[in-house]
Amino acid sequence: MLQSLTEMLIALPAIMIALVFHEYAHGKVADLLGDTTPYYQGRLTLNPLPHIDWLGFIMLFVFHFGWAKPVQVNPYNFKNISIKKGMMLVSLAGPGMNILLAFIGLLAYKYLAPLQNLEWAAMTISLIQPLIYINLILAAFNLIPLPPLDGSKILAGLLPDTGAQYIYSLEQYGPLILLLLIVSGMAGKIFMPLANLLYSLLTMIVF
């Protein structure tokens, strides 16, 4: 248990960066599309406090599964874009930001790895490594096409209106289905192959 807690504390900076940048990206894209809701709710900031859901934060330490406070978006404020396409872009921004952070982490690792015999470089690498895999896991998990995850709205934006309506109709059942997937361990079997694929693709690009 102590080892697990120690690992959590080491990974905490990476977890906070991943969650905060994920939510900030949602809010920023919504703002760029014309919705000022995230701005007026104080979510266009990299300060972690407005993004923390304290229950989700506690659950992170107790069950190693948590969440941040979702960014509220009013798609009726979008300008020059349909609601469906706008929500797809807003939803894509979160996982996209996590993939970008993992990419930056891999770049940093590439140039620090030859210096890892130096103490400062080794310490930096120990912080970069969780930054890479936590961002990829968060991106892959959120790409599951099930409400309320980002993947559902991304998929809805790609489907014809009839298909999108079917995805939206799952919103009342989505959280329960998602909980069952997590408890049963099936969620990991769905998103971990995607996380590994993303890691392989980014590694090919960087190295």
Per-residue pLDDT band for 195 (boundaries 50, 70, 90) equals: very high
185: left (phi over 0), alpha (psi -120 to 50) or beta: left
pTM: 0.93
Contact 144, 191 (CB under 8 A): yes
Any idea which residue has 């300008």 for tokens?
79
Taken as a whole, the chain contains a residue count of 207
Predicted confidence at residue 140, as pLDDT, reads 97
In a 3-state reduction of DSSP, which class is residue 52?
strand
Phi, psi angle pair for 33, to nearest 5°: -85, -5
* Annotated active-site residue in 7, 23, 119, 171: 23
Please check the confidence at residue 1 and state whether its pLDDT lies above 70.
Answer: no
Which has more pLDDT, 174 or 132? Answer: 132
Has 23 been annotated as catalytic? Answer: yes
Lowest-confidence segment of 57-61, 65-69, 148-152, 173-177 by average pLDDT: 57-61
End-to-end CA distance of the chain: 36
**pLDDT, tens digit (0-9, with 9 covering 90-100), for 25-39:** 999 999 999 999 999
Which residues are within 8 A (CB) of 55 and not within 5 positions of it... i.e. 6 or more apart?
none
Predicted confidence at residue 27, as pLDDT, reads 98
- Write down the H helix ranges in the chain: 2-32, 37-40, 54-63, 83-112, 119-142, 150-158, 161-169, 174-184, 186-206
**pLDDT, tens digit (0-9, with 9 covering 90-100), for 151-188:** 999 999 999 999 989 898 888 888 899 889 988 989 99
**pLDDT, tens digit (0-9, with 9 covering 90-100), for 91-107:** 999 999 999 999 999 99
